[in-house]
Amino acid sequence: MQLHSRVFGRGVVALFCATLLLSACGEKKVESEQRSLDFARLDAFPSTYSVSQSRPVLIQGATLLTGTGEQLENTDLLLEGGKIAQVGKDLKAPEGALVVDGRDKWVTPGIIDVHSHLGDYPAPSIESSQDGNEMTSPNTAQVWAEHSVWTQDPQFPLALAGGVTTLQILPGSANLFGGRSVTLKNVPGRSVQDMKFPGAPYGLKMACGENPKRVYGGKGTSPSTRMGNVAGYRKAWIEASSYKKKWEDYVKNGGDEPERDLGMETLAGVLNGDILVHNHCYRGEEMAVMMDVAKEFDFKVSTFHHAVEAYKVADLLAENDVCAAMWADWWGFKHEAFDMTEANIAIVDQAKACAMIHSDSGVGVQHLNEEVAKAMTAGRRAGFDIQPKDAVAWMTSNPAKALGIEEQTGSLEKGKMADVVVWSGNPFSVYTHVDQVFIDGELMYDRADEKRQPRSDFELGILNAEGERQ
Amino acid sequence: MKRVVVFCAFALGVLAASAQAESILIKGGKVHTLGDKGSLESADVLVVGGKVEQVGPSLSVTADRVIDAQGKVVTPGVIAPVSELGLVEISAASSTNDQSVTGESIGSAFNPLPAYNPKSTLIPFNRAGGVTSAVVFPGISTWDDGAVEAQRVFAGRSFAIKLNGEFDSVEAKDVAQKAYLGEAGAQLAGGSRANAYAKVEKALSEAKEYRENRAAIRRGEWRELDYSLADLEALQPVVSGREPLVITANRASDILGAIELAKAFSVKLVVLGAAEGWMVANQLAEAQVPVVIDAINNLPISFSSLGARLDNAALLTKAGVKVAISGPDYASTHNVYLSRQSAGNAVAHGLPYEEALKSISSNVADIFNLQGGTLEQGAVADIVVWSGDPLEVTSYPEQVLIEGEPQSLVTRSTRLRDRHLKPTKGHNFGYQY
């Protein structure tokens, strides 16, 4: 008991399910009495995110793409207490509700970008703000992307105007282990904690292929080859396994308290299932290797990012329950991005693997609906029957799954967070605008009302001392 | 009687085809001529000998080949105003790139044309995206994060290509010269945009001096000039007004600087970038300076483009500036065809629809004095038949003609797609092609 309280005192041990909202928790109920080590350090920089739901919202008579494979015509959506309260016909507006005329409008869940560097690579892009890649060692698992986030990056409000309600901010891809990611709600915040998605698990950024070997090989250090990359991952996982065991032995048997290691905590957090692996990996061969590395060390890859060749191994991804985050049509900037097909997302989706769009770009993040539209069209041209009700999942429910927040957001289902976009029409058209964005039921963006369009500090008085950046 | 007429017309068609390409009738599409006839809800386009012969509703003609375009949209082919097509294969693989030189003091004289590879994979890919011709410029290579070489505020000479992938696909040589002002210019000129300005000014001044005193200079009976004779030769078409000088500038004050330089030397100026063009739209219009913009880039990505916004194209066009829309910078030269998505976004932000079509075709042809861009009698038959609205992200080209020749729309992307459509275990995929 004394031992445990001491460890608790340091915040290393927590009840396995106490703070996590992972779907896996339900299945692990049997073990819920068992104490697990909190390598993820979930309480170190706690979320201070909050919204003030001033009033309920009723969107009437819209076309809903639910994110669960349905398109509902002429349907109402009621948001109450920050949650989706009801989906149905002829719903009554509660007293004081904001009523949105949804005729001719389409409604989707808020868009989730699983791959963003906003805040870490902000605009303007100047030397002093390049905070996304700790390019000093191939393993920088100890860094946390949230500690670089400049909350006043003007790209956040631009992404909001594109319907993005949630983003994962990742470290860059120079290193085998780039560090820890953070999932943010796209709201104005004075601190990054003000934006942190409550209860979202952390991610670990890993990178395959050309980048690590170019950066470190170029310095005459390891890795300089793809095989060097893999040796680097395995070496680190061996160390992490032993670190994890050392702490487990300590909790079980007592003795001298082991020394904390920030990098090892992140890797051990992956090994005990608290932290999700987000792996920059272009090539099919490398994805297959990484899934075997995961098996060797008994962890799971959540998602391959920039998975330009995911279509080549789509069946393997499905078999291993690994997601792929892809672009619609970027290619050719590197050799590992040479084998692009525009049908990539569709092929992965049709193989029953979890497929999604991602941006990695301050421009692309504003047009993810258009990127999905292109990918959907490519899928149809390949002969697949893919409708908007299916494709919407590529920017909503599937990225929610990749981030381990699918119980909370990503679909228009009762009880989910009221993260909702009202579109001027079919979202899969270049001419359609985002009319309104609700996050946890609060109107965060309104195209018709400049007062409900947030501006970052940076945008005030920047081109015109008396105005805002246009 | 009718049968006889048809027969005769057919026979004539065959005769014409023997001299050149077969005649083609594109029937019943919505046709955007981008010329005097404007847009026609349902019209036919007759192509004979690589040219547009007739455009109008229900033409009473026959042709060797008929393309049914009912429910489709017919436009001139997309023209990319800036690209590195045929000079770049894989951006991060330097052995496959020829768009720039480092370590040598070549400026305006740099001629990338001998490096042009019409068999590049980027060409069928962008052709399948609806691009029929493109201007190819040299550029600065910045992938390796290395410091760019100083001195070269001029990128060099350019050329225009047809995207038919043939060895004789160079449409025009010396289409324009390219130079850098603003932030990029400052990087190239030792740290200050003022020095970039001074270097361009001096180059134009010496080019004029050279033009007026060529014989003496070549004999060596003249003062020493800063620029090489090769560089000054390359600038002759610019200072004589025969070819435009494309200057990159995004900040409003840099754009005004470019206009000032162009006036001082009577140079035909094109501003490339112009993120803050809307702030000086009237000055651009007054000086009749066209712009080439990345219409989808609204990020204040540098202190030179703080004013970037999605209605830049709309505001510039409204002020009377001729606007060409390039492929988005972020998608690189591999995806120049995405200029149509950018143009669609510009429409969503106020650019009139036909102006948007012009910004990716006829305006580009006008700015660089190229063929194409309209579907009028006598125009080169660079034509795309689209599945629907060409600016819509769910539309795609179903037929592409270049100089009247139907083009293949197969690309590496479609080949890889077809091979791996249903990925399965085993070795069979290796035998599927």
pLDDT reported for residue B218: 94
pLDDT in tens, B220-269: 999 999 999 999 999 999 999 999 999 999 999 999 999 999 999 999 99
Instruction: Look at B348 and A339 and tell me if their CB atoms are within 8 Å.
Output: no
DSSP, residue by residue, B254-280:
HHHHHHHHHHHTT--EEEEE-TTGGGG
Q: How far is CA A305 from CA A173, A355, B128, B239, in A?
A: 10, 10, 27, 50
Which one of B355, B371, B387 terminates a domain?
A: B371
Which DSSP category does A257 fall into?
A: P
> Based on the domain organization, do B125 and B261 belong to the same domain?
yes
Nearest Cα neighbor of A378 from B179, B414, B408, B19 is B414
* Residues of chain A neighbouring B122 (CB-CB closer than 8 A): 332
Which one of B348, B371, B394 terminates a domain?
A: B371
Instruction: Look at B299 and A331 and tell me if their CB atoms are within 8 Å.
Output: no
Instruction: Please check the confidence at residue B367 and state whether its pLDDT lies above 80.
Output: yes
Query: Would you say residue A102 lies in a domain?
Result: no
> Based on the domain organization, do B318 and B396 belong to the same domain?
no
Distance from C-alpha of B427 to C-alpha of B423, rounded to nearest angstrom: 11
Distance from C-alpha of B276 to C-alpha of B278, rounded to nearest angstrom: 5
Instruction: Please check the confidence at residue A24 and state whether its pLDDT lies above 60.
Output: no
> Based on the domain organization, do B39 and B68 belong to the same domain?
yes
Dihedral angle of Cα B194, B199, B202, B204, to the nearest 10 degrees: -110
DSSP, residue by residue, B76-111:
EPEEEEEE-TTTBS-TT-GGGB-S---SS---TT--
Largest CA distance in chain B: 80
DSSP E strands, A160-229? 164-169, 177-185, 203-207
Q: How far is CA B151 from CA B102, B188, B244, in A?
A: 11, 6, 21
Q: How confident is the model at residue A35 (pLDDT cuts 50, 70, 90)?
A: low
Instruction: Look at B298 and A370 and tell me if their CB atoms are within 8 Å.
Output: no
pLDDT in tens, B154-168: 999 999 999 999 999
Query: Would you say residue A28 lies in a domain?
Result: no
Asked if residues B240 and B211 have their Cβ atoms less than 8 Å apart, the reply is: yes
Query: Would you say residue A80 lies in a domain?
Result: no
- Closest partner residue to A377 (CB to CB) among B394, B414, B421 is B394
pLDDT reported for residue A36: 74
What's chain B's average pLDDT? 92
- Closest partner residue to B301 (CB to CB) among A123, A315, A383 is A123
pLDDT reported for residue B7: 40
Question: What would the mean pLDDT of B202-211 be, rounded to a whole number?
Answer: 97
What's chain A's average pLDDT? 93
pLDDT in tens, B260-315: 999 999 999 999 999 999 999 999 999 999 999 999 999 999 999 999 999 999 99
Structure tokens at A10: 């340091």
Structure tokens at A349: 């989706």
Nearest Cα neighbor of B179 from B133, B234, B115 is B234
- CATH code for the domain of B260: 3.20.20.140
Residue A4 belongs to what H/E stretch?
helix A2-10
Asked if residues A141 and A175 have their Cβ atoms less than 8 Å apart, the reply is: no
* Residues of chain A neighbouring B331 (CB-CB closer than 8 A): 329-330
Query: Would you say residue A441 lies in a domain?
Result: no
Structure tokens at B20: 């050149």
pLDDT reported for residue B187: 87
Residues 6+ apart with CB under 8 A from A394: A345, A349, A355, A356, A357, A372, A375, A376
User: How many domains are contained in chain B?
Assistant: 2
Query: Would you say residue A92 lies in a domain?
Result: no
pLDDT in tens, A351-408: 999 999 999 999 999 999 999 999 999 999 999 999 999 999 999 999 999 999 999 9
Instruction: Look at A382 and B90 and tell me if their CB atoms are within 8 Å.
Output: no
- CATH code for the domain of B9: 2.30.40.10
Return the ∠ at Cα A183 (arms to A179 and A185), rounded to 5°.
Answer: 150
CA–chain centroid gap for B114, Å, is 19
Instruction: Look at B417 and A339 and tell me if their CB atoms are within 8 Å.
Output: no
Residue A218's domain comprises 109-414
> Based on the domain organization, do B399 and B337 belong to the same domain?
no
Instruction: Please check the confidence at residue B322 and state whether its pLDDT lies above 70.
Output: yes
- CA contacts within 13 A on the Cβ side of B251: 15
- Closest partner residue to B392 (CB to CB) among A341, A361, A429 is A429
Instruction: Please check the confidence at residue B385 and state whether its pLDDT lies above 90.
Output: yes
Residue B410's domain comprises 1-77+372-433
> Based on the domain organization, do B237 and B172 belong to the same domain?
yes
- Residue A323, phi then psi, degrees to nearest 5: -85, 160
What distance in Å separates residue B209's CA from the closest CA in chain A? Answer: 39
* Residues of chain A neighbouring B88 (CB-CB closer than 8 A): 332
> Based on the domain organization, do B347 and B265 belong to the same domain?
yes
Burial A131-167 (b: 16+ CB within 10 A, else e): bbbbbebbbbbbbbbbebbbbbbbbbbbbbbbbbbbb
What distance in Å separates residue A326's CA from the closest CA in chain B? Answer: 14
> Based on the domain organization, do B377 and B419 belong to the same domain?
yes
> Based on the domain organization, do B179 and B201 belong to the same domain?
yes
B6 touching A (Cβ < 8 Å): no
pLDDT reported for residue A418: 98
Residue of A430, A431, A447 for testing the chain B interface, max B β-carbons within 10 Å: A430
DSSP E strands, B258-362? 269-273, 291-293, 323-325
What distance in Å separates residue B348's CA from the closest CA in chain A? Answer: 5
Q: How confident is the model at residue B331 (pLDDT cuts 50, 70, 90)?
A: confident
Instruction: Please check the confidence at residue A111 and state whether its pLDDT lies above 60.
Output: yes
pLDDT reported for residue B188: 86
Q: How confident is the model at residue B394 (pLDDT cuts 50, 70, 90)?
A: very high
DSSP E strands, A257-389? 276-280, 301-305, 323-326, 355-357
Question: Residues of chain A with pLDDT > 70: what percent?
Answer: 93
Instruction: Look at A330 and B331 and tell me if their CB atoms are within 8 Å.
Output: yes
What distance in Å separates residue B311's CA from the closest CA in chain A? Answer: 10
pLDDT reported for residue A17: 34
Instruction: Please check the confidence at residue B38 and state whether its pLDDT lies above 50.
Output: yes
Q: How confident is the model at residue B105 (pLDDT cuts 50, 70, 90)?
A: low
> Based on the domain organization, do B340 and B384 belong to the same domain?
no
Instruction: Please check the confidence at residue A15 and state whether its pLDDT lies above 80.
Output: no
Q: How confident is the model at residue B58 (pLDDT cuts 50, 70, 90)?
A: very high
Q: Would you tell me how many other CB atoms lie within 10 Å of the CB of residue B427?
A: 6
Q: How confident is the model at residue B85 (pLDDT cuts 50, 70, 90)?
A: very high
Task: Check if the interface score ipTM surpasses 0.90.
Answer: yes
> Based on the domain organization, do B157 and B216 belong to the same domain?
yes
> Based on the domain organization, do B229 and B85 belong to the same domain?
yes
* Residues of chain A neighbouring B89 (CB-CB closer than 8 A): 332
Q: Would you tell me how many other CB atoms lie within 10 Å of the CB of residue A33?
A: 8
Which one of B326, B354, B371 terminates a domain?
A: B371
Which DSSP category does A193 fall into?
A: G
- CATH code for the domain of A362: 3.20.20.140
Q: Would you tell me how many other CB atoms lie within 10 Å of the CB of residue B115?
A: 14
Q: How confident is the model at residue B151 (pLDDT cuts 50, 70, 90)?
A: low
User: Residue B341's closest chain A neighbor by CA?
Assistant: A430
Nearest Cα neighbor of B44 from B70, B15, B5, B10 is B70
User: Residue B331's closest chain A neighbor by CA?
Assistant: A330
Structure tokens at A107: 């409604």
Asked if residues A327 and A356 have their Cβ atoms less than 8 Å apart, the reply is: no
Which DSSP category does A265 fall into?
A: H
Distance from C-alpha of B104 to C-alpha of B116, rounded to nearest angstrom: 20
Q: Would you tell me how many other CB atoms lie within 10 Å of the CB of residue B1?
A: 5
Q: Among A6-10, A43-47, A460-464, B404-408, which stretch is predicted with the lowest mean pLDDT?
A: A6-10
B338 touching A (Cβ < 8 Å): yes
pLDDT reported for residue B16: 40
Distance from C-alpha of A379 to C-alpha of A393, rounded to nearest angstrom: 14
Residue A446's DSSP bridge partners are: A436
CA–chain centroid gap for B223, Å, is 39
Q: How confident is the model at residue A51 (pLDDT cuts 50, 70, 90)?
A: confident
Q: How confident is the model at residue B150 (pLDDT cuts 50, 70, 90)?
A: very low
Query: Would you say residue A408 lies in a domain?
Result: yes
Instruction: Look at B334 and A470 and tell me if their CB atoms are within 8 Å.
Output: no
> Based on the domain organization, do B203 and B175 belong to the same domain?
yes
Query: Would you say residue A391 lies in a domain?
Result: yes
Asked if residues A328 and A371 have their Cβ atoms less than 8 Å apart, the reply is: yes
Question: Residues of chain A with pLDDT > 90: what percent?
Answer: 90
Query: Would you say residue A426 lies in a domain?
Result: no
Residue B75 belongs to what H/E stretch?
strand B73-76
pLDDT reported for residue B307: 97
B307 touching A (Cβ < 8 Å): yes
Residue of A125, A309, A329, A395 for testing the chain B interface, max B β-carbons within 10 Å: A329
pLDDT in tens, A305-356: 999 999 999 999 999 999 999 999 999 999 999 999 999 999 999 999 999 9
Instruction: Look at A311 and B328 and tell me if their CB atoms are within 8 Å.
Output: no
Sign of CA dihedral A330, A331, A332, A337: positive
- Integer distance in angstroms from the first to the last C-alpha of chain B? 50
pLDDT in tens, B418-429: 999 999 999 999
- Closest partner residue to A370 (CB to CB) among B279, B341, B424 is B341
Residue B53 belongs to what H/E stretch?
strand B51-56
* Residues of chain A neighbouring B92 (CB-CB closer than 8 A): 210, 333-335
Question: What would the mean pLDDT of A223-228 be, rounded to a whole number?
Answer: 98
Q: How confident is the model at residue B365 (pLDDT cuts 50, 70, 90)?
A: very high
User: How many domains are contained in chain A?
Assistant: 1
Instruction: Look at B344 and A431 and tell me if their CB atoms are within 8 Å.
Output: yes
Residue of A126, A331, A374, A434 for testing the chain B interface, max B β-carbons within 10 Å: A331
Nearest Cα neighbor of A354 from A318, A396, A326 is A318
Residue B272's DSSP bridge partners are: B248, B292
Question: What would the mean pLDDT of A446-454 be, rounded to a whole number?
Answer: 97
Q: How confident is the model at residue B100 (pLDDT cuts 50, 70, 90)?
A: confident
Instruction: Look at A313 and B297 and tell me if their CB atoms are within 8 Å.
Output: no
| B window 230-259, beta carbon within 8 A of A | none
Residues 6+ apart with CB under 8 A from B95: none
Burial B342-376 (b: 16+ CB within 10 A, else e): bbbbbbbbebebebbbbbbbbbbbebbebbbbbbe
